[in-house]
Amino acid sequence: MMLELLLFAALLLGAYFLLHMTFLKLPRCKSTAKLHGKTAVVTGANTGIGKTTAMDLARRGARVILACRDRRRAEAAAQEIIQETGNSQVVFMHLDLSSLASVRSFAEEFLRSESRLDLLINNAGLMNGGKTEDGFGMIFGVNHLGHFLLTVLLLERLKASGRSRVVTVSSKAYKMGTVDFTCLRTHRDVSLGDSDLQLFHKYCSSKLCNVLFTHELAKRLQGSDTTCYCLHPGTIQTEIGRYAGFWWSLLTKPIVFLFFVDPESGAQTTLHCALEQGIEHASGRFFSCCAPQLNIEPKATDDAAAAKLWELSERFCGLA
């Protein structure tokens, strides 16, 4: 009986290893680009995919701005990146995406202190309940609206820097999202409710907003040397759900542990979109596994919805 159990356990381990080496193994960014003299901003760069992305960009010689809310964690991340890469041009600048005033303050400080911007990596994301400082749903406010305002405020500096890129980390979860414009106008949120399931739907909807934002941004960037991309990083072990409820955590943590991959793997498509040469024609496209996706859902490329979301976001941010 013991031998049978051992054989069964060995088969399970073998199947799990095979799964990780095939279906769960993500492709790597193959770019050998060097970034000396270039400047990159990475939001949410003190942990997870953002930190890994910042580490790689610093290793390639870029000046990297860690745009984060938590000063202590961000400064610790900056020191670690400097030690690992030998690049001293890694600095923290405070940015709280749940506050439009903070986004404006960050943009003002950046434009005053930095002469160029080559890469804007809109990486930060969360799945928390509650409201932002300005009364928007937290998930919509941080994952979409804060990044929208940040991008718009830095757009002229991106254009003036030559061949620059905006890379927004979305998710294939966009497929389960909706953009309810009536709810947005009435409640300043993509949907109502704060149960774990309702928060997950809000997260999916915010990721759809990311894709629509990139779709519309690409149109507005036509004729310039700035391009934009959004992406699915993969199923990654990050801290995005660290404030989730007890039962949601109990349900998801074993799945995350067994089937989600590390942040280094998750950063590869971000890096591909930021660095790979010859993808400029794919501006506005949705990437996964270091490649543009052909089976994007129609709701993510709806011209009317993308334009409406942009115009509403402008009004929410006081730009129109």
Residue 1 lies in a domain: no
Domain that holds residue 140: 32-316
Count other Cβ atoms within 10 Å, centred on residue 109.
14
What separation in angstroms does the CA of 34 have from each of 39, 62, 136, 188, 295?
12, 8, 39, 42, 32
Q: Which residues contact 95 (CB under 8 A, 6 or more apart)?
A: 43, 67, 68, 69, 102, 103, 106, 150
Q: Considering 16, 174, 203, 229, which one is annotated as catalytic?
A: 203
What is the H or E stretch that residue 231 is in?
Answer: strand 226-232
- What is the predicted pLDDT for the residue at 214? 98
Q: Please, are residues 66 and 45 in contact by the beta-carbon 8 Å criterion?
A: yes
In a domain, 6, yes or no: no
Please tell me the total count of domains within the chain: 1
**pLDDT, tens only, 207-251:** 999 999 999 999 999 999 999 999 999 876 544 445 545 554 554
The per-residue pLDDT for 228 is 98
pLDDT for the residue 4: 54
* Catalytic residue status for 203: yes
Q: Which of 275, 261, 269, 271 is nearest to 291 (CA)?
A: 269
Specify the pLDDT at position 236: 60
The pTM (predicted TM-score) of the whole model is: 0.87
Spell out, as residue ranges, where the chain has pLDDT lower than 70.
Answer: 1-25, 236-261
Q: Tell me what pLDDT residue 234 has.
A: 86
In this structure, is residue 54 part of a structural domain? yes
The H-assigned helical ranges of the chain are: 2-21, 48-59, 71-85, 100-113, 138-140, 147-160, 181-187, 196-220, 246-259, 263-266, 268-275, 303-316
* Residue 22: predicted pLDDT: 43
Residue with tokens 């305002």: 149
Which of 67, 54, 61, 55 has the alpha carbon at shortest distance from 38? 61
Cβ neighbours around 134 below 10 Å, total = 16
pLDDT, one tens digit per residue, over 66-108 is 999 999 999 999 999 999 999 999 999 999 999 999 999 999 9
The CATH number covering residue 229 comes to: 3.40.50.720
